[in-house]
Amino acid sequence: MTELVAGGNTVLPDGELSLRVPGPFDLSVLVTGDDGRVAGDGDFVFFNQPVAPGAQLRGDTVTVRPARLRPGATRVTVVASPAEPGVALGRLPVPALSVRRADGTLVARFAPPRPARETALLLAEIYRRGDRWKLRALGQGYADGLAGVARDFGVDVVDDGGAPGGGPRGRGAAPGAAGPAAGAAQDGFLGAVNAARLRFGTPPVALDARLIAAAQAHAEAMARRGTLGAVGPDGTSVHDRIAAAGYGCLGIAEHLVSGPRTAAELVEFCLAEEGRGDPFRDHGVVHAGIGRAVRDGSGDLYWTALWAAPFSAAGLARTAAEVVRLTNEHRAAARLAPLAPDAGLTAAAQAHSADMVGRRFYAHTSPEGSEPWDRAAAAGCAFRGIGENIACGQRTAAEVVRGWMDSPGHRANILTPDFTHIGIGYAVGAAAGTYWTQLFGR
């Protein structure tokens, strides 16, 4: 595996390649000739146009088959932009690109320098040299968004009236789940859910086609295996399916159930226990998705219900602020001074949470050996001492702070008198669903 820096390049293996950028981003590619210009709008692969000869976009991954690109194509440029229009990339995790062969072998990885006010980033390009294809890391930012990138490559852009710079045509709804099982799963579900939420005084939710697709895929995987579980035998989690469907989460909850025969019975079952009923009472839940599958032979039904709050930079900031507030409440109870939020610590903590999701590990030490103090220094922090707490699986700020306080080692960090500043990181995905980082400085 090659770890690239901006300007670096590596030879690519023959055959199909998968390029993935996890997180709250839209992934796009532009297919061009040596002149760097598209031959037509069909050379732009993005959320409204996910397929071109030799390239297909699905969620956070684009598959490229260089041998099948249109005649005259010699380059494929990979672009990352915020999923929420108008948000500066500097307010989000670093968009890290990984490139894999068809068998899943990691070929190369590129984590660009952290952008600032840019709203689109040219991450890399696949280009032909002689009879071989190579990958070059770029890291070039654009301040006028995906529309600005598209214009520079010769795409005819119609602004959608949204964020500055607009976007290439309007973003359409994601395709819904197809087939009789998906339709049967939805039948009566939304009405029963919103009737329950009305009783609890919480606003109604809407079905989201991306969550429906992810829920249906996970229900089918459980039915094939004949067991309930958040992670399948191939390592694909329900959260991976949500990311692959293109839904960026700030918060997520799931019900994985076997037994009920109808959607109404499923809702009744979920409401029967206090813990299961939390999504019905949660004001933050905005979208829901439902999937149902029948196991061959037994006829048993397997259900996946998803409850989500969409990602936004403002929502991430509120979540981090709540962790800081609860942390300082515990310090106040111990007669300690409050911790002040620090931008550098926040950037390092957020990058580590996103990295744990993107590379599917859970540790203070990253796969290449960097430690908390290394990450803090790289983010520009000049503190004499650094401490770090991490956690995964907790769904709320209150739950994660309570878990840290119940652990002697984590509690000691929170109640260290000499610490003066704090940064919080939070990312959704991978196997555990949520990954938290609490970084302290003094």
Q: Is the pLDDT of residue 319 over 80?
A: yes
Q: Phi, psi (5° rounding) for residue 130?
A: 65, -125
CA distances from 209 to 16, 29, 241 (A): 28, 23, 13
Kindly give, in sequence order, each residue whose CB lies less than 8 Å from that of residue 417, ignoring residues fewer than 6 positions away: 336, 337
For residue 275, the SS3 value is coil
Q: Is the pLDDT of residue 11 over 80?
A: yes
Residue 135 pLDDT grade (very low, low, confident, very high; cuts 50, 70, 90): very high
Q: Is the pLDDT of residue 141 over 90?
A: no
- Residues 50, 58: Cα–Cα separation, whole Å: 7
Q: What is the mean pLDDT of the chain?
A: 87
Residue 183 pLDDT grade (very low, low, confident, very high; cuts 50, 70, 90): low
Tokens at residue 28, please? 């796009």
Token pair 């939805």: residue: 186
Residue 228 CB neighbour total at 10 angstroms: 13
- Residues 437, 62: Cα–Cα separation, whole Å: 29
State the angle between helix axes of 313-333 and 397-405 in degrees (0 to 180), rounded to the nearest 10.
30
Tokens at residue 246, please? 């293109």
Residue 184 pLDDT grade (very low, low, confident, very high; cuts 50, 70, 90): low
Kindly give, in sequence order, each residue whose CB lies less than 8 Å from that of residue 350, ignoring residues fewer than 6 positions away: 93, 316, 423, 424, 425, 426, 427, 437
DSSP 339-350: PEE-HHHHHHHH
Tokens at residue 436, please? 């938290």
- Residues 280, 298: Cα–Cα separation, whole Å: 31
**Could you read off the pLDDT of 354-402 as tens digits, one per residue?**
999 989 899 999 999 999 999 999 999 999 999 999 999 998 999 999 9
Query: CA triplet 329, 330, 331: central angle to 5 degrees?
Result: 90
Q: In what helix (H) or strand (E) does residue 168 lie, and over which residues does it extend? A: none
By the 8 A CB rule, do 267 and 193 touch?
yes
Kindly give, in sequence order, each residue whose CB lies less than 8 Å from that of residue 72, ignoring residues fewer than 6 positions away: 33, 39
- Residues 414, 408: Cα–Cα separation, whole Å: 10
Give the least confident one: 125-139, 173-187, 195-209: 173-187
Reference 185, options 116, 262, 274; nearest CA is: 262
Integer-rounded Cα Rg, in Å, for the chain is: 23
What value does the mean pLDDT take over residues 333-348? Answer: 96
By the 8 A CB rule, do 407 and 354 touch?
no
Token pair 């099982």: residue: 181
Kindly give, in sequence order, each residue whose CB lies less than 8 Å from that of residue 272, ignoring residues fewer than 6 positions away: none
Percent of the chain with pLDDT over 70: 93
**Could you read off the pLDDT of 14-31 as tens digits, one per residue?**
999 999 999 888 899 999
By the 8 A CB rule, do 122 and 110 touch?
no
Kindly give, in sequence order, each residue whose CB lies less than 8 Å from that of residue 68, ignoring residues fewer than 6 positions away: 53, 54
Q: Is the pLDDT of residue 46 over 90?
A: no
